[in-house]
Structures are given as structure tokens and as C-alpha cells.
Structure 1
Amino acid sequence: MKEKVNQMLKDKLFLVMLVLGLLTIVAAAGVITVQRGKGTETNPYLEMPQPEMIAQETTPETAQVAGASDAVKDSQKVTPAPTKAAVAKNENQGNDLAAEAGAGKDAADALVLNFSDASRMQWPVRGNVLLDYSMDQTIYFPTLDQYKCNPGIVIQSDVSTPVAAPANARILEVGSNEEIGNYVVMDLGNEYTATCGQLKEVCVAQGEYLKEGQTLGYVSEPTKYYSVEGVNVFFEMKHQDKTVDPLDYMQ
């Protein structure tokens, strides 16, 4: 009986201690809550700025990226009038391109391709005519030992003699073939063209403009088609793609 009484006292003491512990925890929780209520409460959500604040905080750099301010500025810009020097420079550019390395800047204005039936040109080289122009009948070619038509004239010369442009001209073609060797085709204007063959060290290029008398290249050793005739310059003229006698236009 005594033991049961003791056991009951122990159980009651345990319950009392348990209740006191719970009360202590509750009291502590209340104190903490009161202290938090006295402080500044932190909003757990991110506050978004108002539209007015966004407009105020926008920097000039941000506006420029959008392009609107730049567009306004560009539309208000006034292009200054070109200076006289700039106009003169633009006018000279066309002449520079036309003359290129041949005639040079000073001669560009005077370089006119206006060859006509009344024009006269200088000889590409000075020398005897070894073979005449002949398209209406055949003539004898010693090297080939045969008679045939000749679309140009064959002018006697010496190796390394300078060959001159017969008139103001623009280079249409620089080439080479088996019969007349290295050659240059020139546009003289008004559908007149001239061809010089049997050349070496050609010093002009396609598209280049040349003044009358300017060097095209130098006389070469003759090809195998003219070995008997000897060193020479082959010279041919055409008008509207039809051959004409160059001697009719020589000075």
C-alpha cells in the first residue's frame, strides 16, 4: 500500500514538472513575439518601383540605345555644302581614272579620243615599209614563200627601238600570238583601232590611256613568219572592224 502511494506521488510530480515545462516554453515564445512586434517588420516580397520612379531613373545612355533620341538628332543635322576644293577634287577623280598611269593628271583634260578620216597620226617607228597593206590582192611573203593578203603594213626597224602610240589612245588589249608575237590593240576613238605587233617589254596595260608618242614597248626579234623580212613592227588599222590602209592616215 505504501509503495502504491509513493508511485502515485511520483506520477503527480512528473505531471507537474511537465506542465511547468510547457508553461515555460509558451511564456518564452510570447516574449519573443512581443520583441519582434516592437522592431521593424521586413516585407518578404520584393517591392516593384513605381512607373514614375522608372522614368526618373532612366539614363541618357539607355535612351540612346533605344534609338529614338539618335533619330531625332540625325533628322535635325544639316549637311554642310561641299567646299570648292572638294568639288575640284571630285571633278579630277574622273580624269585621274581615265588617264591612269599613262597620260598623267596634267594631260587628262587634253587627252581626247576623236580620231577621224581627216586625222593624221605619227609612225610607231621610223623605217622602210617591207610589206604593204593589200586586201584587194595578194602580195608575196618571202619567209612564207607564198602570196597572200596583208591586213597591215610591216615596217623595218631595229631590235630594242621604242615603239610609240600613233595617236591619243586607250589600250583595249595586250596579248601575244604565234604570227606577230607580242601585240597591243589601241582604241583611237570613233571606232578606229590600231594594232602594233612584234614587240617586247610591253609597258602598257589594258584600260590605260596614252598620249600620242608615248612608248608602248620595244621592237623584238621577228617571229618565224618574218625571219627573212627581218626585224620589223607589224602595224594594222581598222575602222568599224574593217581593215584600212594605215599609210592613208600617216603624217
Structure 2
Amino acid sequence: MRDKINQMLKDKLFLVMLVLGLLTIVAAAGVFTVQRGNGKETSPYLEIPGPDTIAQEGTQGDTQVAGASNAAPVEETKEEALASAIKETPANNAGDDLAAEAGAGKDAAKPLVLNFTDTSKMTWPVRGNVLLDYSMDQTIYFPTLDQYKCNPGLVIQSDVSTPVTAPANAKVVAVGSNEEIGNYVTLDLGNDYTAICGQLKEVCAVEGEYLEAGQTLGYVSEPTKYYSVEGVNVFFELQHEGKTVDPLDYME
């Protein structure tokens, strides 16, 4: 019995010595680590950072956050690059050119001052001989109709497809057609003066637009059946306050 007790004591003593030896080894290893860290103490336990530390490191770390001031530049798309180039272009360079191109035609649409008076002069809508003169105080002979009648305007000789131009600055008040003078354009010259150009084709004047003197209204067409003998012509009538007047009194 005594031998068993002695044996147990020996075994316990051995275990104690073994534990002490292990602790000595661990302590020696810790001292060695401290020395390698330039004297800076390090804890043998794992430190878990707190929430404040994690938040601070998130703002100071190398990871870039979208929208941060120190974020790396993102490559621009073609559309963004073009928009930036237009925005940074000097005002007197491409921007003005684009604006000028976008605004082209504004001057043409700008209303003109219509101030035709009894002392104003007009240009001829076409150049040519007068086949039938203005005559409202007496009748003249119309070859195609083979009759005498008054003529409220001028019948001016011309050629098919000759351009017909506005005789003065004017606003187009009507574009129409009738059996006698074919396609026609009615122009407001201002101060109750109105001009009518007939025997037209391919009319390019648009009702409501303003035309400068010399701007094309349309082109000379084949004559209607009322002027087949007289030949190709332009009918031109001038009115003041609704009454016809002699256009030749106002021609240059």
C-alpha cells in the first residue's frame, strides 16, 4: 500500500515538473518576441478592434469610396467627354458656331419694316416687255379673248421657269390660284399697299413670312388659257387702299 502511495506521489511530481517546464518555455518565447519588437510590448492575446476603431480605419484606409474626394478618377464615357469639351470651349469658339448654326434663319423670320409710300420705288418682278399695259380708265384689246376690256395690272413678257421676285420688302398674306392668272402670291407692302404676282409655278413663298425685295416668290409658268396668244408672262397688279393703281408709276 505504501508503495502505491509513493508511486502516485512520484507521478504527480512528474506532472508538476512537466507543467513548470512548459511554462518556462512559453515565458522564454515571450521574452524573445518582446526583444525582436524593439522593446515594444506586444500582447500574446488577439486584440479585436472596437466599432470606433473600425469606422476610423474605414475612412483612412487605402480602399477608395465612391464620391470620396481622394477617389481614383473614373474613365469618362464618350458622351461625358463630349459634354465636357463643349462646356469648356471658349464662348467665341465652337460654342458660338453651334449656337449660330442652331439660330440660322432667325434673321430671315424677323419681321421687316414695311413702309411703302407713294414716293417709294419697286423693282420689276421679272424683266421683260409690257404686253398689256395697266388701263382702268379705258379699255384695251386682249388678243386671246378677242375683246376690249380694262386691265387692272401689267402683263409682262417672260420665259418659262424665270424666277419671279418680290418687288419690295413685303409680307406674304395669301398664296392662291384662279382660272385667269393661275397661281398667284399676294404681298402686303405696308401703308395699305398690296401687290399681286400671277402666272406662277413652284411657288416657294409661304403665307405669313416676310420677304426682302428681290427674294424669289416662285417661277414663271405656262400661260393660262386667257393669255395663250399673248404668250408666257407674269401678271402684276398694285393696289392702294383696295383700289388698283398704275404699277409703272412706282417702278424703278
Tell whether the structures are fold-level matches, with TM greater than 0.5.
yes
TM-score w.r.t. the length of structure 1 is 0.58
Q: Is the Cα contact below 8 Å between 2:109 and 2:209 reproduced in 1?
A: no
Relative distance call for 1:128 and 1:176 in structure 2 (3 A) is same
Q: CA RMSD in A?
A: 1.5
Structure 1: gaps spanning 5 or more residues? 1-100
Relative distance call for 1:161 and 1:151 in structure 2 (3 A) is same
User: Are 1:186 and 2:187 matched, yes or no?
Assistant: yes
Return the alpha-carbon distance in structure 1 between the equivalents of residues 111 and 121 of structure 2: 17
- Give the C-alpha shift of residue 181 in structure 1: 0.1
Q: What amino acid is the match of 1:172?
A: V
SS of the residue corresponding to residue 106 of structure 1 reads helix
Return the alpha-carbon distance in structure 2 between the equivalents of residues 171 and 130 of structure 1: 26
2:250 corresponds to: 249
- Give the C-alpha shift of residue 108 in structure 1: 6.2
User: Are 1:126 and 2:121 matched, yes or no?
Assistant: no
User: Are 1:197 and 2:198 matched, yes or no?
Assistant: yes
Return the alpha-carbon distance in structure 2 between the equivalents of residues 119 and 203 of structure 1: 26
Return the alpha-carbon distance in structure 1 between the equivalents of residues 176 and 147 of structure 2: 26
Structure 2: gaps spanning 5 or more residues? 1-103
1:231 corresponds to: 232
Return the alpha-carbon distance in structure 2 between the equivalents of residues 143 and 164 of structure 1: 26
1:210 corresponds to: 211
Q: Is the Cα contact below 8 Å between 2:197 and 2:235 reproduced in 1?
A: yes
Return the alpha-carbon distance in structure 1 between the equivalents of residues 173 and 144 of structure 2: 30
Return the alpha-carbon distance in structure 1 between the equivalents of residues 231 and 142 of structure 2: 12
Return the alpha-carbon distance in structure 2 between the equivalents of residues 245 and 175 of structure 1: 23
Relative distance call for 1:148 and 1:240 in structure 2 (3 A) is same
User: Are 1:141 and 2:115 matched, yes or no?
Assistant: no
Return the alpha-carbon distance in structure 2 between the equivalents of residues 220 and 207 of structure 1: 23
TM-score w.r.t. the length of structure 2 is 0.57
Relative distance call for 1:233 and 1:139 in structure 2 (3 A) is same
Name the count of aligned residue pairs.
Answer: 149
- Misfit runs of 4+, over 6 Å: none
- Give the C-alpha shift of residue 106 in structure 1: 3.4
- Give the C-alpha shift of residue 213 in structure 1: 0.3
Return the alpha-carbon distance in structure 1 between the equivalents of residues 170 and 231 of structure 2: 28
